[in-house]
Structure 1
Amino acid sequence: MLRREFQATDESVMVALGAGLAAASEPGLVIYLRGELGMGKTTFSRGFIQSLGHRGPVKSPTYTLVEPYTFEALEVFHFDLYRLGDPAELEFMGIRDYFGGDSICLIEWPERGIGVLPPADLEISIEPAGTGRLLQVRAGSVVGDRVAQRWQPGN
């Protein structure tokens, strides 16, 4: 499966990378966002969601676990599992209902949902790189491979 790397020198580049991925995405996509606190996972998600037409703030759903965004023919679910105590809690919230052919799921801290979450089509790991960030992208499915090939930074 395809692997790519992108450099984000500042917040605006991280937002542009999120927007570029949104432009390349298709319904049914599951995206894992990995990285320590402060690496830019939510900033990336903001670029993704706002580029689709959302005109409000995009905040990390740390306490609610999921924030839905509805667009004309697509739903985007932004998950932040940082405060998740046990992956079984995801079953109680009906996690499986969020994953379908007409939605895209962005999942921060996916390692907290091991055993319950579906596999990722794309895994994006964000690490420090000098004063910016390095995004390492790995496709985990045919769909993820196709989207990663189309993804152009800054779209």
Structure 2
Amino acid sequence: MTGHLTSKSDVFSFGVVLLEILTGRRSMDKKRPSGEQNLVAWARPYLADKRKVYQLVDPRLELNYSLKGVQKVSQLAYNCLSRDPKSRPSMDEVVKVLTPLQDLNDLAILSYHSRVSQQGRRKKKPDGTHQLTYNQSRSIRDSPLNTGKQHRSIRDSPLNTGKQHCK
């Protein structure tokens, strides 16, 4: 940090704002454990690994967010927060990345339920309901998107708004 305000320092600051939105956390929070007080320092390892970015998502969103949106925003935040100011995007580039994201409609809950149902067939129980196979229930439990709440179907989910989200 040079202490000089530049367009690249503005981009860094915008990256912090993106991270705050993505995580639901403040940039500095003295109430958190020592390794989590500085949001940027805590989030960097997660941003650097595409498999871990979902661990950053604000848990209050449950699964009500776009998977592609999380991927794009986390990558953009990572680029904006680059230690090398020359490697940071311009704000014009930031706008070009963010603009198409407003049209995304791939909710995580829909993508996750679709993926789980494709992994194996459901077994029909005598009462007419469906039971997940062992592999399906294990993958739900182990998912980074698992909120700990169980829903029998998308229809039963509290995130169901009645709107169809898939084209």
TM over 0.5: no
Q: Which TM class, normalised by the smaller chain length?
A: under 0.3
In the superposition, the TM-score normalised over structure 2's length comes to 0.26
In the superposition, the TM-score normalised over structure 1's length comes to 0.27
More helix by share: 2
Greater RCO structure (CA 8 Å; 6+ sep): 1
More strand by share: 1
